[in-house]
Amino acid sequence: MGSTSDLPIMEKACKLLDELQVPFEVNALSAHRTPDAVEQFAQTAKDRGVKVIIAGAGMAAALPGVIAASTTLPVIGVPIKGMLDGLDALLSIVQMPPGIPVATVGVNGAQNAAILAVEMMALYDADLAQRLAVYKGSLRVKIEKANEELSQVKFNFKCN
């Protein structure tokens, strides 16, 4: 993440990775204030066993692109809501030049970034794929339960 002020958003990815028992790193690295550290992180990530990088940033949101420029690993950008409700960060992340792709989720979508990263890694890890399938199944169960509860809500003109 660009700074620890991004943690309330990015911790959603951490919690999901933790739940799915996926080892992960958490760092505060700024593309503008610590560019050498960002480059070092990106260039050495693969050697440390990192498979996918999730990079969250707000405002100018350069971090995901700067990381992607220094690694061959997949990078998922999380635009973080800031000055323009996150539109500034979103546009900064999705408008990458040819050859430097950054997958992008919705504004403040750190949880979806974690799910996407796990989906990528699960292609080559059957145990992780099983844990992911259980997690996704639990999402269905939550909605089915919510719909059942809604069926008990009474209104004068409700038809179902």
Residue ranges covered by each domain of the chain:
4-124
Looking at the chain, the whole-number percentage of residues with pLDDT higher than 90 is 95
* Per-residue pLDDT, 51: 98
**For the whole prediction, is pTM greater than 0.75?**
yes
Average pLDDT, the chain: 96
Q: At 104, is the secondary structure helix, strand, or coil?
A: strand
Q: At 157, is the secondary structure helix, strand, or coil?
A: coil
Question: Is residue 83 very low, low, confident or very high in pLDDT (cuts 50, 70, 90)?
Answer: confident
* Per-residue pLDDT, 48: 97
pLDDT in tens, 85-134: 999 999 999 999 999 999 999 999 999 999 999 999 999 999 999 999 99
DSSP string, 46-96: GGGT---EEEEEETT--HHHHHHHT-SS-EEEEEE--TTTTHHHHHHHH-P
Instruction: Tell me how far CA of residue 51 lies from CA of 2, 16, 87, 91, in angstroms.
Output: 20, 16, 28, 25
Average pLDDT over residues 60-70: 96
* Per-residue pLDDT, 57: 92
Question: Is residue 82 very low, low, confident or very high in pLDDT (cuts 50, 70, 90)?
Answer: confident
Average pLDDT over residues 38-54: 98
Can you name the CATH fold of 4-124? Rossmann fold (3.40.50)
